[in-house]
Structure 1
Amino acid sequence: MSGMVIIGGGECGGRAALALREAGYEGSVTLVGAEPHLPYERPPLSKEVLVAETAPDPRWIGTGLGYEEAGIRCITGLAAAAIDRAAKTVTLADGATLAYDRLLLATGAAPRRLAAADMAGPRIAYLRSYADALALRDHLAAGTDLAIIGAGFIGLELAASARRRGVKVTVIEAQPRILMRGVPEPIAAVVAQRHRDEGVDLRTACRIAGFAGRPDGVTILLEGGERIDAGLVVVGIGALPVTGLAEAAGLAVDNGVVVDRLLATSDPDIFAAGDCCSFPLALHGGRRVRLESWRSAQEQGALAAHNMLGTADPVSSAPWFWSDQYELSLQVAGLADGSERTVRRDLDDQAFILFHLDAGGRLVAASGIGPGNAVARDIRLAEMLIARGARPSEMELASLDVRLKALLAA
């Protein structure tokens, strides 16, 4: 019996499966995931899962009973091995086949590997899955030494969590500053100072010459001759889209599975969504982007489900990213790269927002940082202004006397 098949049991795949039922689809829905768990959220892996007094269960997307009641068949612990587009079937790793009317690829992304580190023995780790997080917990004991390669969101969130557990942390970044991808320098500087205040040895513009495994850890050899010893090294240098199935099936791939504005691939019966796909973003002139974002996985999973049923709704929301480190929350809406002007709005002595405008004065991004939820409301309003193509004046954006909600109403 054919129906809807979803490959990928993460945030995107789980949301898509549930959305099919919420939209009234009554045919068969099968969700295939390589991990042994039902779909769960990944953001807590670098935070709550590491710092909670006892290891918490994953934060589930739905429950086993919920999928069962919805009539969704969940195949866990078994990867998809091949797609036959002519026969419209998926072959699983155990040789079983699934027929589909429409297929969704929600295969996500995998950590970018560092070959030189991988050769240094078992004390090299990556963080992507719940199992990875549990393994890291076992090493995060007070007084131990942790080295993190890469100062992106994952690396810095892990550093903050490790410091909360009393671990000595060194972060090594090859770029001249932390958070080079998508975070403006003034906000990155606040985050960097907060880590240093917490005792993190934060090294930027730092090049690694090699790694040497030891029975109790790893020695990192830096260019210039310095050596850093750590009981564990975690590599966090970005992620690559998981596109092997798509490539083998002859689908177009370019920094992810290529999809159109409806999330359809080069085969009209196959869709892709979430971290694994690249799509044209209308808010930024049709520029093709790939987003590694919790909210994007949520939204695209539901959107793909509706479009698999023929709704034909395009991707329209602005990109949104967030990170919590210590008491600070960092949020970014839109894409700031390529903007021409930046306007700062100070909310108080600890929180501020940067508004990014293009050459024509259109608001294209907003970046904010502050304790707790200090910037959340204004970033949400800025996100709505971005979606509407608003062109507020620099004076209006800078002044606390002008409410963003009033700009939205105007």
Structure 2
Amino acid sequence: MDGIVIIGAGEAGTRAAFAAREAGFADAVTLVGSEPHLPYERPPLSKPLEGTVQMKAICGAEVLEAAGIDYLRGVSAAGLDTGLRSVTLSDGRSLHYEKLLLATGARPRQLGCPGAHHALDFRTYADATAIFSRAQAGGRVAIIGGGLIGMELAAVLRAKGAAVSIIEVAPKPLGRVIPPRFAAKLHARHVEEGVQFHLGQGIAEITPGSVLLADGSQVRADIVVAAIGVLPDMALAEAAGLATGNGILTDVSLRTSDPHVFAAGDCAAISHAGGGHIRFESWRNARSQAETAGRNMAGANETFAAAPWFWSDQYDLGLQVAGLPLPSYQSVVRSVGEGELEFFLDNGCLVAAAGLGPGNSLAKDIKLAEMLIAAGINPDPEALEDPGVNLKSLLKSARAA
């Protein structure tokens, strides 16, 4: 079987398959997924309805069939031979390809302490089902990791009535990609909601009923969840001799070091104009990269240039971040109703923006900020700070200029 073969049936792999078809690719398209389900979205996993984990399918079986996409579920890629352009599957079958997309995603980073096997991961539908089926009202849950995933999970479990403790080796939670002012506000909100924080603490051991911290103290827990980040799943690429680093290295068109092999999503590290490669971990970036890769496998030669963007819902607060807000950038804060926007300037040029407010109240502002970033403007900081200056008017002025 030649044509396009896609390894990984998550957001990136599935969207790439449809993008190739929409671009007019007429030969075979084969999508390989290791899970037994139809392709599904991961963000809803942390938002159960009435105690039941949601599985929001990306598409139905009939849609895959109508698009002529052959979906092989419950199998994984066991080997890749770029010379023969073939992939060996876990069930012994071999697939030959004209173009191959690696959309293998990421895997949870594993704890290295004694008793680490007692901790549950939180990545797949099966993981989410295991956690929420055991997390009862009045139960005690210890979450190791105070990043976005850990904090989002804490908010949901508190709403279910569970007693939640977050253990984080850093001195503050959310310190990696969230602007400090918003990280502090979210931290404070969790404290108000009753979440117990153990910051600056390593793990000495995990037992069936507790987590022993490095300082000798103990956190009682009926369930322990490891949420210490993910690692790009690039074992297949490494074994095949493709260039890797913090992910499978690609050029701006998502091609790897082999011109017949592409990569997209959490596993891919994209060539950056400023030098080096950058890997993004978000739903929208996975989708955007996949659509570019799908069209390029169909014969286009597009470059991936979308700005990073992600969101997080915690309690009734919605956080959105566009671009890469670095501590070295000039910061400008604007109050908007019950929320705040923070803009980031690099030598006067708007390069990133973030917003925190009730629900989705700042979504339109962040969308306008994304357009302003894409326009490459050098706005007046006072205009950005002033709530009376409409962002849409700044965009119109930028386009007119």
Match of 1:273 in 2: 264
Report the equivalent of 1:157: 152
Q: Secondary structure at the match of 2:40?
A: coil
Q: Over aligned residues, Cα RMSD in angstroms?
A: 1.3
1:103 — aligned with what? 100
Question: Residues 88-109 of structure 1, C-alpha deviation per residue, up to 9 Å, x if partnerless?
Answer: 1110011100010000000000
Shift of 1:338: 5.1
The one-letter amino acid paired with 1:280 is S
Amino acid at match of 2:269: S
Quickly say closer, same or farther: Cα 1:382–1:212, change in 2 above 3 A: closer
State the alpha-carbon separation in 2 of the partners of residues 17 and 401 from structure 1.
45
Spell out, residue by residue over 1:240-282, the C-alpha distance to the aligned partner (whole angstroms, 9 max, x if none).
0000000011100010000000000000000000000101244
The answer to whether the 8 Å contact 2:101/2:263 transfers is: yes
User: Which of 340, 345, 363 pairs up with 1:352?
Assistant: 340
Corresponding residue of 1:221: 212
Q: CA deviation at 1:309?
A: 1.7
TM alignment of 1:245-324, pairs within 5 A: 245-282=236-273, 285-324=274-313
- Matched position secondary structure for 1:274: coil
Question: What is the match of residue 395 of structure 1?
Answer: 382
Whole-angstrom CA distance in 2 between matches of 1:377 and 1:339: 26
1:85 correspondence with 2:82: yes
Contact kept in structure 2, 1:339 and 1:364, CA below 8 Å: no
2: CA distance, partners of 1:169 / 1:307: 46
Identical positions, percent: 49
Aligned counterparts, 1:184-203, within 5 A: 184-203=179-198
Distance in 2 of aligned mates of 1:164 and 1:296: 29
Q: Which residue of 2 aligns with 1:16?
A: 16
Q: 1:141 aligned to 114, 133, 136, which one?
A: 136
CA deviation profile, 1:18-63 (whole Å, cap 9, x unmatched): 111122211100000111112111011122x3xx115254111111
Q: Deviations over 1:121-145 (max 9, x none)?
A: 5x41010000101111111100100
d(CA) in 2 for partners of 1:157, 1:204: 17
Contact 1:265–1:271 at 8 Å: present in 2 too?
yes
Cα deviation, residue 223, structure 1: 2.8
SS at match of 2:37: coil
| Secondary structure of residue in 1 paired with 2:262 | strand
Aligned to 1:329: 318
Q: Which amino acid aligns with 2:159?
A: R
Paired with 2:214 and 2:85, the residues of 1 have a C-alpha distance of 52
CA contact (8 A) 2:202 2:214 kept: yes
Q: 2: distance between equivalents of 1:41 and 1:307? A: 24
Residue 244 in 1 paired to residue 235 in 2? yes
Deviation at 1:339, TM superposition (A): 3.6
SS class of match (1:158): helix
Q: Which whole-Å CA distance do the structure 2 matches of 1:62 and 1:17 have between them? A: 12
Q: Is the 8 A contact 2:53 2:129 kept in 1?
A: no
1:39 aligns with 2:39: yes
Whether the aligned pair in 2 keeps the contact of 1:339 and 1:356 (CA below 8 Å) is no
Instruction: Call closer, same or farther: CA 1:22–1:408 in 2, change over 3 Å.
Output: same
Provide the secondary structure at the position in 2 that maps to 1:333: strand
Partner of 1:76: 73
Structure 1's unaligned 5+ residue stretches are: none
Which of 115, 120, 123 is equivalent to 2:112? 115
Whether 2:50 is the aligned partner of 1:53: answer yes
Measure, in 2, the Cα distance between the counterparts of 1:94 and 1:124.
Answer: 30
Q: Give the whole-Å Cα distance in 2 for the aligned partners of 1:203 and 1:369.
A: 24
Which whole-Å CA distance do the structure 2 matches of 1:81 and 1:224 have between them? 43
Deviations 1:316-369 (A, max 9, x none): 111001100110000000001254310000002x200110111x2111111110
Quote the residue 1:205 is aligned against. Answer: 200
1:371 partnered with 2:385: no
The one-letter amino acid of 2:264's match is: A
Partners of 1:61 and 1:22 in 2: how far apart?
A: 16
Aligned partner of 2:63 in structure 1 is: 66
Query: Is this contact kept in 1: 2:24–2:298, CA < 8 A?
Result: no
Q: Compare 198-207 and 74-83 and name the one that shifted more.
A: 198-207
Contact 1:322 1:329 in 2 (8 A): yes
Q: Is the CA contact (8 Å cut-off) linking 1:281 and 1:315 kept in structure 2?
A: no
- Partner residue in 1 for 2:125: 130
Q: Secondary structure at the match of 1:138?
A: helix
Q: Could you tell me how far apart the structure 2 residues matched to 1:204 and 1:330 are?
A: 22
Three-state SS of the structure 1 residue aligned to 2:71 is: strand
Q: Deviations over 1:141-166 (max 9, x none)?
A: 00100000111111001101101110
Instruction: Extract unaligned runs of 5+ from structure 2.
Output: none
Secondary structure at 1:12's aligned position in 2? helix
Contact 1:148 1:171 in 2 (8 A): yes
